Amino acid sequence: MEGWRCIDPHVHCRDWNESYKATIREVAILASTQGVVAIIDMPNTDPPVTTLDTARRRVETARREGVERGYYIYVAATPDIGQLEEAVGAVANLRWVAGLKMYTAPMKGLEASTIEAQRTVYRRLSELGYRGVLAVHCEKTSLFREELWDPSKPWTWGYCRPPEAEVESVKDQVRLALENDFRGTLYIVHTSTPDAVSIVASAKEQGLKTVCGVTPHHLMLSLEDMARSSGLALKVNPPLRQRRLKEGLLDKVREGQADFLETDHAPHAPSEKLGPPYLSGIRSLDNYSKCLEWLLGNGVSEKILRDMTYNNAKRVFPMIEE
């Protein structure tokens, strides 16, 4: 979109041991061609960003690759108390650390998959007086039905990790944040169901500082699209949803209930997606500006879109300079 300056609060730049998938430099250049002037990189890298030292090294890598501006990172928030303290210290001490990220679903050992583990994170962040952003990937592992996944029918991924796994996990996060008097901003990433967006909206009314984001792929594609030959290429977490839910999610966007447009840009080698291990992740930054045009053409007002692509991110992540 001509003249738009956007912020993408959720990308995976890979790099390091996964440089064959993408590098920080490549993703930053791609972002700029799409009108995205600042990105926030997720910590599930190889090795993961869990400490002050890895956070520093991450930004040094960016600088070495010539990325001087508009690059920010999250540090993982795990249920390990010592790690959590270190992560909070990284947010306090490094101005390019935009917040913390917690995984409720399996993610390279970084996850807090039980309620007890998640409660530990909220309680400790509260005790440490943390006031920054906690981004959370919400899928309740106990509701997964692994036995339904059949790579020869790629759409079964949507049954394996069903909508209720997201909805129930979002409810858990809101409850845990309120119960533990969490004072930061709870950011529910990549909401893929209208119910999840509604839960965030009513949590705001209860006085919780909370926001949610939606991705281009959950708005523009549905589970039915996975029945095409390229179905495995569309495997993503959380999965694409059935058309009815996808339309419901778009309604929430039209109503101005989604705070961010986030790409969750997640490059892989094609062979890793189309064959074992059938990795999840879509290169959604490739189509960012197309998605903006699509949303404007599908009843989303320019005011709402400006808020979702820039104004809300500037408010929630005040450290961002482009």
Minimum CB distance to Zn ion smaller for 291 or for 304: 291
Nearest residue (CB) to Zn ion, 138 versus 304 = 138
Interacting positions 121-160 with Zn ion (CB under 5 A): none
Helices (H) then strands (E): counts for the chain? 13, 8
- Whether the CB-CB separation of 49 and 55 falls below 8 Å is answered with yes
CB of 135 to Zn ion, least distance (A): 9
Nearer to Zn ion, 125 or 189 (CB): 189
Three-state helix/strand/coil letters over 152-209: CCHHHHHHHCCHHHHHHHHHHHHHHHHHCCCCCEEEECCCCCHHHHHHHHHHHHCCCC
- How far apart, in whole angstroms, are the C-alpha atoms of residue 265 and residue 11? 5
Burial profile 9-48: b = 16 or more Cβ within 10 angstroms, e = fewer: bbbbbbbbebeebbbbbbbbebbeebbbbbbbbbbbbeeb
Q: Using CB under 5 A, which residues numbered 211 to 270 contact Zn ion? A: 264
Based on CB atoms, which residue is closest to Zn ion, 107 or 304? 107
Least distance in angstroms from the C-beta of 137 to Zn ion = 7
Task: Work out how close the CB of 173 gets to Zn ion at its nearest, in angstroms, rounded to a whole number.
Answer: 16
Nearer residue to Zn ion within complex by CB, 165 or 304:
165
The region, left, alpha or beta by phi > 0 then psi within -120 to 50, assigned to residue 82 is alpha
| Minimal distance, residue 170 CB to Zn ion, in Å | 16
Cis peptide before 277 (omega within 30 of 0): yes
- Whichever of 22 and 304 has its CB closer to Zn ion, that residue is 22
Residue, CB closest to Zn ion: 264
Spatial separation of the C-alpha atoms in residues 146 and 113, rounded to whole Å? 16
Smallest separation (angstroms) from Zn ion to the CB of 209:
22
Name the minimum Å distance from CB 301 to Zn ion: 27
Q: Are 11 and 27 in contact (CB under 8 A)?
A: yes
166 lines the binding site for Zn ion (CB under 5 A): no
Q: Does 111 bind Zn ion (CB under 5 A)?
A: no
Instruction: Tell me the number of residues near Zn ion by CB under 5 A.
Output: 1
Q: Which residues bind Zn ion (CB under 5 A)?
A: 264
